[in-house]
Structure 1
């Protein structure tokens, strides 16, 4: 597999993204799926000639809330990437390409890795607190006489 910005490329291909404009046209995008993000660029043949230094759009999994609205109509599969800020980005691709499933899988794996790191970090901080905690003297109150008058 190739490397993209230091990350392993898991899948590459063409997706169509619905534009935000009034007409909501489908625009072809070259898509690269890594372990941490979906990278979108102009299609490769146009990208190389028009804007060789142009940076594409990155949908980093830390900002992706979910991938949903998956449906098949004819030869296309449709899905929506919902960002943490509520923005929805619609995509379509050839149904057999499985982009939505692979993006969802990588997003879940990314979020699981982040959760494990957060737990480890919390445990490490707690261990440091216990190790660095100064010894304190604990005084136990002496028992009082429980003589009952009966």
Structure 2
């Protein structure tokens, strides 16, 4: 199943398709997952029914590209707690790039929000701490 990319707002789908995730079991089997990428998370579906596992971008530190072969791109998502989740996709699907770009966009938006919040709080505290000047005659 090829991935499909769409222009989006924050809730719309950026990319949808198939990824393979490596299990953490003894045999480390690759399992196919239907995936949906949005501006703030990656959803992983095991089957046609059942809840999705969600990887929220606020809990992801980075995406590491591990290896390119003639058939697959292997990459790892590293969480804020340094848990590593291994994936692979066909080279043509570019899932690693789509996830990386969405993560960077999310981190940039969050940094701007933090900066604006800091600037607003600093401005408000400076306004409150300015002494009132009263003219005396």
For 1:72, the equivalent position in structure 2 comes to: 68
Query: Are 1:110 and 2:92 counterparts?
Result: no
Task: String of CA shifts for 1:42-62, please: whole Å, max 9, x gaps.
Answer: 1xxx42xxxx3x221111111
Task: String of CA shifts for 1:41-93, please: whole Å, max 9, x gaps.
Answer: 11xxx42xxxx3x2211111111111113321121111110111111000011
Gaps of 5+ in 2: 1-5
Task: String of CA shifts for 1:102-123, please: whole Å, max 9, x gaps.
Answer: 1001101100100000010011
Shift of 1:7: 1.0
Gaps of 5+ in 1: 138-150
Q: Classify the secondary structure of the residue corresponding to 2:106.
A: helix
Structure ID, larger Rg: 1
TM-score of the two chains, using structure 2 as the length reference: 0.85
For 2:3, the equivalent position in structure 1 comes to: none
Instruction: Return the alpha-carbon distance in structure 1 between the equivalents of residues 23 and 103 of structure 2.
Output: 23
Q: How many residues align?
A: 127
TM-score of the two chains, using structure 1 as the length reference: 0.78
